[in-house]
Amino acid sequence: MRKLKLHPTLFPLIVWLIITGQFSNYALLFISLCLHEFGHLLIAYILKVKIKTCIIMPYGGEIQFATRWLITKKQQLLIALGGPIATLIIYICAFFLPKTLSEPLQSIQIILLLINLLPIWPLDGGRILEIIWSEKKSLQATKTSFLLVSITFCITCFVISLWYFPQSIYFMLILVLLFFQNIQAFRYRKYEQAFENVVLNRLTS
């Protein structure tokens, strides 16, 4: 792997948590995020899949593969499951820690699992759904229909979270970030597919 990066949105979040006196909880969250991503990276390493970059986001991380078009659907599915499995292992291990540490740590793991398993791209749940969805449709049709579903879920979750404002402010910020990522992915989906087709043609010719 060439680079491990921190997404710029992490820094204002850290400042906000320091101001509100929640930095200790975020320290646990950040460690949990790193271990979650380590689960993905470990599976990728076992499967001998090359990783280009890993970007730590407020909700988890985004892994970019060096040769994404050469990875089988089974490998993609196993790598996507690596993060949630790591989070589940942390949750179980927390039972053996002092109560003052285990309770907040387990709460963080539950939140991470609930968020990451949402059917929204590029969350783990979204990636898993996209892989399953791609078995039934062409690549371009999969990308188009799946992103529309992802955007719909994103908007729905945002509307629901308004009822829990201001407690849901962190979740709402994540949804806003995910929404714009989905919009960008939807706009460039045809160009992305065209690029992958060119690469595959060169590799097979």
Place of tokens 């204002």: 12
Q: What does the pLDDT read at residue 49?
A: 87
The pLDDT tens digits of the residues spanning 5-21 come to 777 777 777 777 777 77
Same domain assignment for residues 125 and 110: no
Categorise residue 57: left if φ over 0, alpha if ψ from -120 to 50, beta otherwise: beta
Q: What does the pLDDT read at residue 85?
A: 95
The count of structural domains within the chain is 2
Q: Angle, to 10 degrees, between the axis of helix 169-187 and the axis of helix 139-161?
A: 160
**Beta strand pairing call for 60-65 and 51-57:** antiparallel
| Cβ burial, residue 45 (10 Å; 0-12/13-18/19+) | middle
The pLDDT tens digits of the residues spanning 136-146 come to 555 666 778 88
Same domain assignment for residues 123 and 113: no
User: What is the block-wise mean pLDDT of the chain (205 residues), using blocks of 10 residues?
Assistant: 68 73 76 89 90 77 74 89 94 91 91 91 89 68 83 94 86 90 84 58 57
Same domain assignment for residues 89 and 172: no
Domain boundary among 100, 117, 134: 117
CA distance 6 to 3: 10
Tell me if 36 sits within 8 A of 112, measured CB to CB: yes
Same domain assignment for residues 135 and 154: yes
Same domain assignment for residues 70 and 7: yes
Entry pTM: 0.79
The pLDDT tens digits of the residues spanning 177-201 come to 899 989 988 887 776 665 555 555 5
Range of the domain at 202: 119-205
Domain boundary among 58, 82, 117: 117
